[in-house]
Amino acid sequence: MSGARPRVVVLDYGSGNVRSAVRMLERVGAQVTLSADPHEVSEAAGLFVPGVGNFHACLAGLAAVDGGRMIDRRLAGGRPVFGVCVGMQAMFDSSSEPSDSPQPGLGQWPGTVDRLAADVVPHMGWSPVDVPTGSSLFAGIAQERFYFVHSYAAQQWTLTPHGSFSTVAPLVTWAEHGAPFVAAVENGPLVGTQFHPEKSGDAGAHLLRNWLDSL
């Protein structure tokens, strides 16, 4: 990466311990601010949306800081947003966590996040991913493993280029725990990973550096 360090805001909305995300982004060359200030969010080169714990609690936290509107405005202007774990799940229409009644998400992507169909839940640990051809997020690391901690995930993908942020079809990376689930999405300015790149060692650092290079 050359030139000035890109400025990234880690959205501060009460989602657990975000210090590891701040440290990893700084490690790979970003100038990082932890904030929910609308001006800082709007002006940053990239917005990083963490997510730890319960979907409903995370959406309540986002609502409390008007996070949905800030994310929507950035994406409408083609400004990059990166959601991680529940921060990625929040981009879907809804989730069945914590009850069977759908909890509304931000609606950037169609679909519902559901409990993993596996004998052992949560899915916790290092897993490989199935990366599509042409991925820039996984350039140089398609064969690596990444660190997952989750009980819910999107298990279908229905978005087509029509109505999305790009005329190019979104690139969807899959993983498996009991059944296939969405491990990552690259959809124009909006990307997300179900795993935690900030906890995925050198592979996660490489992935975040790939994202910073795209800014």
58 catalytic? Reply is: no
Rg of the chain on CA atoms, in Å = 16
CA distance 214 to 86: 23
Question: Nearest to residue 1, comparing CAs of 40, 39, 50, 45?
Answer: 45
Amino acid type, 142? A
CA distance 151 to 13: 21
198 catalytic? Reply is: yes
Among 123, 177, 196, 206, the one annotated catalytic: 196
85 catalytic? Reply is: yes
Among 85, 123, 177, 186, the one annotated catalytic: 85
CA angle 144, 114, 59 (to 5 degrees): 95
CA distance 119 to 116: 9
Residues with catalytic function: 85, 196, 198
